Amino acid sequence: MARIEQRREDLFAEATAYEVRAELSLPDFAEMVFVGFRADGAGSLYFGESPVYHFNRHGELRRAFADGRLWKADHGRIASLTRNRSNAASELARHDLTEPEQTEFLTRCESSLKVLFQQLAAGNARVARQYPLNVDLLTKIANWLQRLTPVRVAAAPHVTR
């Protein structure tokens, strides 16, 4: 893990693991929303730098980045990981969320997904960039978002599970 993090210069260009990807401009979001799908159907949402949500091919939340912390799925539960940095190392402090904490986190995630879906359904989304060009990504994204709620937590944080 890098001890010093840097902002991505161009997520759309860098995110080649997503064989289908788009940057969306929406009135309810200050920054571009990036949506990407891997070959197996696993998808990710980047609401600017944060929050970021990664789902497996079954539509289960496997990882996230929000509130300056990493979040990962572990046996159907969420754990938050906070980076503690020193000059010598960078370590992650783990906290397994309590039931109320997990409910709050998943509610915030669902809220972001619902607002994005509502913007798509209202026709307010503008595709800034997409790859490949011959895919109706707005329909694909809207259909995918509908399958994500309620948000279910994956058994593991890995994309291949």
DSSP string for 56-114: -TTSEEEEEEETTEEEEEETTEEEEEEEEE-SS-EEEEEEEPPHHHHHHHHHHHHHHHH
Containing 143, the helix (H) or strand (E) segment is helix 137-148
Local structure of 131: helix, strand or coil: strand
Given pLDDT bands bounded at 50, 70 and 90, which one contains residue 59?
very high
Main-chain dihedrals φ then ψ at residue 19, nearest 5 degrees: -75, -20
* Mean pLDDT across the chain: 91
Q: pTM for this one? A: 0.89
Question: What type of residue is 82?
Answer: T
Tens digit of pLDDT for each residue in 72-91?
999 999 999 998 887 888 88
